[in-house]
Amino acid sequence: MARLGAMAAAVVIAAGCVGASPSDSLGQPPAGSAAGAGTVSESRAGVAMPVGEVPAQEIAQSRRTAITTAVERVAPAVVSVQTETVERVPADYFEMMFGGRSGQRARAGIGSGFIVRQDGVIVTNAHVVSGASRITVALRDGTTYDATLVGEDEQNDLAVLRIDARDLPVARVGTSSDLLVGEWSIAIGNPFGFVLGNTEPSVSVGVISAVGRNITARSEGAGMYLDMIQTDAAINPGNSGGPLVNATGDVIGVNSSIYSPSGGSVGLGFAIPIDRTMRIVDDLLTHGRVRQPWVGLQLRLPELSSARDAVRAVPLVGRVVPGSPAEKAGVRDGDVLVRAGTKTIRNPFDWEARLLELRVGETLPLVVRRGQRELTVQLTIADVPEVSAPRVTVLRELELVSLTDAIRQERRIRSRAGALVVNVSERLQSELGLQNGDVILQIGNTPITSADLAARAIEAYGARGVVQLWFERGGQGPYSINFRVR
């Protein structure tokens, strides 16, 4: 009830802000008179009317605001995203006795999304669809479609879905480059899923509280978030993936996370800027993956006891990868980053946030301070080294690339040779413990010097029985595991 009362108060304030001023206020009784005591007042048209009454037409006009118009424009393109994830659970003896599917459990999930193309392309959060075995999308009118996952970017918490439909309503995409702190913001989505009983999206209103926020504390969603839009428009579980809209009805962000000690909205919501979102959407639709920009410089970080220490840290270049764009541009160890394009770099978070906006192939003017001088260098952004390296697929569940000097420097790998794991199936992760980023050093008695050699060794030793594999992880090791090829 308190929430409903707050919404009613908000409507009154919004209505009073449109076309009204103290001089035109209606219904003020003359001094010494009581409203409703039979006195009359003259309206603007010169027609006598009881004091305190407002023409119905004027009330109706005051209900329509920029916010209601923006909602009407965007709401038809907002969808509910429903997921089903199959989880492994301990086998239940009694369930097996009665023919149940022991060892597995289906878990339902709910989120929001919005349509960006008439042919069924939908944007949502990666954490909404992560690990889902089935995804369905419900439109505003309740029509439901099976959806396919075009691709996802876990680093930015974005995913692109597609449904088999045409002539769908589309949300108008704006820009996040010119946001004003204090301007209206509207969060649209489906909080708490179908607890509310239908697929009609809910609307909450607030302002842009801040821009360029870096979130390092706990939040609803996954991972650390950089360069986010902060809003006090209520974002609750189920809103994730829905649009954040401005007063003109343009999408300016994707609702992604909240900071909350209780799990519900406390006025600290965060959205992914739409400019970064559309770059990722374009990559996923065009290339089937997100092309991760690579510069080839790493900052020197002191010992940090908290995120606050990192905010105060100087963005000092600690290492430049040989052959990288940074080396080719002339960046040196010991340089201090000052500005990247038009954005000032004050700390390591600012630099990481700037990297998220870069596109492979573009040129970035980078200002560095070297001694007492400031220099401008031109960085040409490249793909990360392992993306451009040829991949070898082993047993259809393991993708490897040969270790190169650039990859070693970028990932701080100690070993001189080996095969880097760039993609591993969930089965191998759970059964063997292998992870993305591990470096295979030796299989059986064969030292590994390339991805091709690793593939041949696994196949050769696998035919003999148990295989022993040695690997490096996070600059530590070597560690070993035993497994059998099947």
Catalytic positions, please?
127, 157, 240
Tokens standing for residue 392: 């070898």
Distance CA 303, CA 40 (A): 76
Q: Which residue has the tokens 């048209």?
A: 45
| Residue from 408, 396, 398, 437 nearest 420 by CA | 437
Beta bridge partners of 142: none
Q: Phi, psi (5° rounding) for residue 428?
A: -70, -35
Q: Which residues contact 374 (CB under 8 A, 6 or more apart)?
A: 338, 367, 368
Tokens standing for residue 449: 């010097």
- Residue 219 region by backbone torsions, left for phi larger than 0, else alpha for psi between -120 and 50, else beta: beta
Contact between 161 and 113 (Cβ < 8 Å)? yes
Contact between 441 and 470 (Cβ < 8 Å)? yes
Q: At 184, which amino acid appears?
A: W
Question: What per-residue string of b and e applies to 237-266 under the rule 16 or more CB within 10 Å gives b?
Answer: bbbbbbbbbbeebbbbbbbbbbbbeeeebe
